[in-house]
């Protein structure tokens, strides 16, 4: 078992262990007095893990109620959010109760945003079941829903009270969804952790507890310094400017992790073209992504990527922050003019 403590506006633990779902009730009781437990999950995860979570919560004195959304990004919508709020109200969830997010990033973001806003804020606990949620979205308090104008355009910084990370749930994850999480793991290596990048040259599953802890520590160290994403936290967006465009242009047929992999390959090629990154590091990045069966070629034109990216919330006036890999383990935030974006993307294609 590994524990990583985040010290942001709230101090909380991320507990990483195999089979820990069956102890979720006892662990939750250390941060919230047993009361009603509103579980948000999705149609893939519910049949696999919801009953186990409910039994564990029930044994610890919680009264669980469950709300299930359809699996997939489409459920991170205003409609799902409003339905969830109605469910909470109809089940008389009060400020002394708690929301449990059982699932991947969509469930975690939606549950977190509901927790941040329902009754002006109630406690929530993240129980990530995908690698992507374990190493990234369940940690750091970014919660959001999508609106037709863009992904994550409505949200709040709202930290969970606890993250319970049972990596045995990865055993039931389809290969492509597992690969999505690997894209985010590789990202941490390129940002500022060359030793992590090296570890990923060996098979990931035998070292999964160590890898998850490593990523969560890396993210924790960044979030502790910049919870509200005004500085160093932007490094975590490596590859994401193009990725968000790719996801949107594909109407979310290309998953977040695949889009991050393509975006990372693209921005790494652009960094080499701009003389910022050694070519040998680019070769290593591309081989690493490919070894985890991740895509590296972008199906869209630079003009399409740039147009979509410039409607993104990270635009500040005529400038945009772009994360440039200046070598593996050394990424930097560069502020560029929006007029330069299309050229940078075309260098990366
Ligand atoms: N996933 C990026 C962040 O948490 O800032």
CA distance 140 to 137: 7
233 CB within 6 A, ligand 1 = yes
pTM, whole model, 2 decimals?
A: 0.96
By the 10 Å C-beta count (0-12 exposed, 13-18 middle, 19+ buried), 115 is classed as buried
According to the model, what pLDDT value does residue 315 have?
Answer: 60
46's CB contacts (< 8 A; 6+ apart) are: 66, 68, 102
Distance from the alpha carbon of residue 237 to the mean position of ligand 1, in angstroms: 7
CA distance 216 to 13: 11
According to the model, what pLDDT value does residue 166 have?
Answer: 98
Give the HSE-up count for residue 161: Cα atoms under 13 Å, Cβ half-sphere: 20
Distance from the alpha carbon of residue 222 to the mean position of ligand 1, in angstroms: 10
Distance from the alpha carbon of residue 54 to the mean position of ligand 1, in angstroms: 29
According to the model, what pLDDT value does residue 149 have?
Answer: 84
Using 70 as the pLDDT threshold, list the residues of the chain that sit under it: 312-317
Q: CB of 50 within 8 A of CB of 77?
A: no
142 CB within 6 A, ligand 1 = yes
pLDDT, tens digit, for every residue of 247-275?
999 998 999 999 999 999 999 999 999 99
According to the model, what pLDDT value does residue 312 have?
Answer: 60
CA distance 334 to 332: 6
Distance from the alpha carbon of residue 137 to the mean position of ligand 1, in angstroms: 7
Q: Ligand 1 pocket check: which of 226, 237, 239, 263 to mutate, most ligand atoms within 8 Å of Cβ?
A: 237
Q: Ligand 1 pocket check: which of 133, 220, 221, 236 to mutate, most ligand atoms within 8 Å of Cβ?
A: 236
The tokens for 40 are 């948000």
C-alpha triplet 322, 346, 265: angle, nearest 5°: 60
Residue 234 CA: nearest ligand 1 atom is 5
Q: CB of 10 within 8 A of CB of 140?
A: no
According to the model, what pLDDT value does residue 314 have?
Answer: 52
218 CB within 6 A, ligand 1 = no
According to the model, what pLDDT value does residue 151 have?
Answer: 85
According to the model, what pLDDT value does residue 206 have?
Answer: 98
136 CB within 6 A, ligand 1 = yes
Residue 184 CA: nearest ligand 1 atom is 1
According to the model, what pLDDT value does residue 150 have?
Answer: 83
pLDDT, tens digit, for every residue of 127-171?
999 999 999 999 999 999 999 888 899 999 999 999 999 999 999
According to the model, what pLDDT value does residue 155 have?
Answer: 98
According to the model, what pLDDT value does residue 111 have?
Answer: 98
Q: Ligand 1 pocket check: which of 229, 243, 260, 264 to mutate, most ligand atoms within 8 Å of Cβ?
A: 229
Residue 233 CA: nearest ligand 1 atom is 5
């Amino acid at each position: 078992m590994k524990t990583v403590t985040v010290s942001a506006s709230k101090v909380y633990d991320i507990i990483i262990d195999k089979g820990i779902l069956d102890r979720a009730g006892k662990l939750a009781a250390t941060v919230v007095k047993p009361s009603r437990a509103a579980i948000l999950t999705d149609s893939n995860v519910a049949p696999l893990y919801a009953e186990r979570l409910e039994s564990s919560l029930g044994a610890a004195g919680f009264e669980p109620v469950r709300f299930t959304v359809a699996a997939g990004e489409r459920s991170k919508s205003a409609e799902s959010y409003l339905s969830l709020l109605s469910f909470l109200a109809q089940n008389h969830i009060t400020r002394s109760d708690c929301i449990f997010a059982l699932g991947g990033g969509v469930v975690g973001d939606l549950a977190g945003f509901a927790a941040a806003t329902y009754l002006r804020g109630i406690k929530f606990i993240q129980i990530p079941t995908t690698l992507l949620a374990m190493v990234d979205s369940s940690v750091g308090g970014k919660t959001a829903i999508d609106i037709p104008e863009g992904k994550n355009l409505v949200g709040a910084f709202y930290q969970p009270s606890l993250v319970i990370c049972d990596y045995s749930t990865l055993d039931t994850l389809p290969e492509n969804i597992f690969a999505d999480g690997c894209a985010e793991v590789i990202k941490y290596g390129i940002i500022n952790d060359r030793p992590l990048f090296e570890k990923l040259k060996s098979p990931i599953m035998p070292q999964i507890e160590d890898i998850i802890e490593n990523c969560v520590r890396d993210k924790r160290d960044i979030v502790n310094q910049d919870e509200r994403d005004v500085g160093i936290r932007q490094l975590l967006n490596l590859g994401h400017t193009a990725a968000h465009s790719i996801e949107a242009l594909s109407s979310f047929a290309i998953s977040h992790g695949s889009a991050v992999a393509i975006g990372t390959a693209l921005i790494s090629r652009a960094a080499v073209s701009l003389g910022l990154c050694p070519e040998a590091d680019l070769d290593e990045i591309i081989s690493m992504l490919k070894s985890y069966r991740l895509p590296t070629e972008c199906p869209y034109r630079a003009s399409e990527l740039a147009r979509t990216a410039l409607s993104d919330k990270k635009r500040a006036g005529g400038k945009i922050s772009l994360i440039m890999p200046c070598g593996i383990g050394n990424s930097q935030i560069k502020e560029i003019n929006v007029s330069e974006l299309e050229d940078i993307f075309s260098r990366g294609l």
